[in-house]
Amino acid sequence: MAKKNEIRRIGILTGGGDCPGLNAVIRGVTKPAEDYGMTVFGILDGFEGLVEGKAKELTNSDVSGILARGGTILGSSNKGDPFHWPVEVAGKIEIQDKSQAALNNYKAWNLDALIAIGGDGTMHICNKLSQMGMNVIGVPKTIDNDLEATDLTFGHDSAVYVVATSLDRLHTTAASHHRVLVVEVMGRYAGWIALNGGLAGGADIILIPEIPFSWEKVYAKIKERELMGKKFSLVCVAEGAKPLGGEIVTRGTDIKRTDPVQLGGIGKVVADKIEENTGRETRVTVLGHLQRGGSPTPFDRILSTKFGAFAIDLVAQKKFGRMVALKGSEIKSVRIEDAISRQKLVKPDDQAVIAARRVGISFGD
């Protein structure tokens, strides 16, 4: 006979943008759940499903064979914040609070706990839902790697792999045509993808949000390489990078999102300025959603599986209001409110920055 306070029914959702490793976490939660005698309900399309009441039971067979699959079998949405819910009223978008509907569905499904997989935005939502009475566990996911409370988020390694292999391919065409090739990568206000991807892919110049750059220093690096007989250069620029005294380049706003600012366009600005001021033929490649898709790297498959298995253990132990985190080589947990206290940004004295400078990479500063 089940104990009165035993956890029996848990929900799981994937919030925010998709990324490699989400399915591995779902698998890492669902398989051990059977050992605990728990039933897992997969909530569809992120927090949209929690608000609109869309869910299905997940079994061992549902998660069989999904370890290496990209994306999420549950669907996701980065416009489904229950506290910032877009509703069309008289032809205009109106933002409403639908958190009570989310709580009602949580209760209607008789859930004992909710595991939410997502990035900074998802963790902020988790913190608010926790305060409303839900038993929540967070699992950190973002290719941007901008959550301070964990050494790494899954999805980041896979995104860096895409950037590095793209730079490898562009290196040969840049050298063949004596061009400067600019690669714009994701990351929003954090430069981790550009830094690690650029370092792994042999970029000559890396431009990140945390180190505002000088146009003259960028031109000087390209001309310096030419004097050394290197008639091409690779520039890896983060979407949130900006010049000294300048502003972040944006391509619009979307009020349906909690953070309405849509970044993008800095790559073309950099390419145009370089061509105009150095005379060197310059092209730009925007990797965009290529960085989010495809199979997770082995590292991300392992990390995601560890995160999922640890999350279900936290549920069983009733350690709610916590987020799974990688600390060194061990998986631990931190309070969600501590996890979102500040963003993890690249520090000027980060070892990767120092190493990059040592091998001659310029940050334009």
Residue 256 has pLDDT above 70, yes or no: no
pLDDT (mean) for 350-363: 98
φ and ψ at 4, to 5 degrees?
-60, -40
Asked whether residue 79 carries a pLDDT value surpassing 80, the answer given is no
Average pLDDT score over the chain? 94
Choose among 145, 141, 159, 158: nearest CA to 323: 141
pLDDT confidence of residue 131 = 95
Q: Is residue 277 predicted with pLDDT exceeding 70? A: yes
pLDDT at position 47:
95
Q: With a cut of 50, say whether residue 127 has pLDDT above it.
A: yes
pLDDT tens per residue, range 279-331: 999 999 999 999 999 999 999 999 999 999 999 999 999 999 999 999 999 99
Average of per-residue pLDDT across 191-200: 98
Q: Are 20 and 153 within 8 A, CB to CB?
A: no
pLDDT of residue 261: 79
- CB 219 within 8 Å of CB 277: yes
What is the reported pLDDT for 289? 92
Identity of the residue numbered 294:
G
For the entire predicted model, the pTM comes to 0.93
- Encoded tokens for 207: 């431009």
Res. 212: pLDDT tops 60: yes
Using the predicted structure, report yes or no on whether residue 3 has a pLDDT greater than 60.
no
Interval 324-342 mean pLDDT: 94
* Beta-sheet strand order (sheet of 205-207): 205-207, 233-238, 180-185, 282-286
| Residue 157, CA distances (Å) to 93, 233, 245 in order | 37, 24, 32
Of these residues, 144, 146, 157, 204, which one is catalytic?
144
Report the alpha-carbon distance of residue 193 to residue 157 in Å, rounded: 9
pLDDT at residue 341, rounded to an integer: 87
Residues in the chain: 365
Q: Which residue bears the tokens 């926790």?
A: 130
Residue range 236-246, pLDDT digits in tens: 999 999 999 99
Reported as a single tens digit per residue, the pLDDT across 142-159 is: 999 999 999 999 999 999
- Per-residue pLDDT, averaged over 107-124, amounts to 95
Quote the CA–CA distance of 109 and 95 in Å, as a whole number: 26
Q: Does the pLDDT at position 64 exceed 90?
A: yes
Q: Is 168 a catalytic residue?
A: no
What integer is the mean pLDDT of 69-82? Answer: 90
Per-residue confidence band for 4, with pLDDT thresholds at 50, 70 and 90:
very low
Residue 343 has φ and ψ, to the nearest 5°, of -85, 145
Please give the pLDDT value at position 53: 96
- The residue assigned the tokens 């994937």 is 14
Q: What pLDDT score was predicted for residue 258?
A: 64
Q: How high is the pLDDT of residue 257? A: 66
